[in-house]
Amino acid sequence: MKIDSYRNQRWLESTLDYIWNTHFEDVPRANNVEIIFGKKAKRRLGSIGLDKDDPGTSIIRINPIFKDLDVPEFVIVATIVHEMTHYAHGFNSPLEQKQQHPHRGGVIRREFAERGLEYMYIEQNAWLKENWPGILDKYFEPTAYRRRNRPVKLKLPWWMSGL
Ligand SMILES: [Zn+2]
């Protein structure tokens, strides 16, 4: 997949550093944390995992469809904040694990709110609901994720199935 965009590896890294310095300055960078574009996906916007070759390194993977300039920057920033929240909560990071489950109980939204970013959480959800299916049409066969044009009904937002 080739998308012409200023959103390259260097941009990803500086965006992560910016978010860390401005909104997560209280969270220690306790190991090596990398950020890369992963595989394109319909539902997984981002993920955080440990490097299988080097478990001392955490890797944040971002959906490469986010290089598409029809996706506003705040949607990507919100995705990085989401993955940073998992890191801060001790999921796939050396930090103390704060709760049993990475998503249950509204912990992600609460973390956005405590960091003054609840508006971003809300706007990301609204933007995805409105625009993500249209973006996916450019990169996937539409029928692969929609059945007879009816929206998929799930309790959780369907684009949030990743960790
Ligand atoms: Zn998550």
Q: How far apart are CA 157 and CA 163, in angstroms?
A: 13
Instruction: Output the pLDDT for position 40.
Output: 96
According to the model, what pLDDT value does residue 9 have? 97
- Measured CA to CA, the distance from residue 142 to residue 44 in angstroms comes to 17
Tens place of pLDDT per residue across the chain (163 aa): 788 899 999 999 999 999 999 999 999 999 999 999 999 999 999 999 999 999 999 999 999 999 999 999 999 999 999 999 999 999 999 999 999 999 999 999 999 999 999 999 999 999 999 999 999 999 998 655 555 556 555 445 655 655 5
Which residues have a Cβ under 8 Å from the Cβ of 27 and sit 6 or more positions away?
A: 20, 84, 87, 88, 95
Q: Ligand 1: distance of its center to the CA of 81 in Å?
A: 10
Q: How remote is the CA of residue 70 from the centroid of ligand 1, in Å?
A: 23
CA of 83 to the centre of ligand 1 (A): 6
Write down the CATH number for the domain with range 9-144: 3.30.2010.10
Of 105, 119, 125, 116, the C-alpha closest to 19 is: 116
Residue-range domain boundaries for the chain = 9-144
The C-alpha atoms of residue 74 and residue 72 are separated, in whole angstroms, by 6
Q: Are 16 and 35 in contact (CB under 8 A)?
A: yes
Give the Cα separation of 40 and 63 in Å (integer): 5
State the pLDDT at residue 154.
47
Strands 46-51 and 32-37: unpaired
CB atoms within 10 A of CB 132: 20
Q: How far is the CA of 125 from the centre of ligand 1 (A)?
A: 13
| pTM value surpassing 0.85 | yes
Q: What angle do CA 60, 151, 46 make, to 5 degrees?
A: 0
Q: What is the Cβ-side half-sphere exposure of residue 62, based on CA atoms within 13 angstroms? A: 28
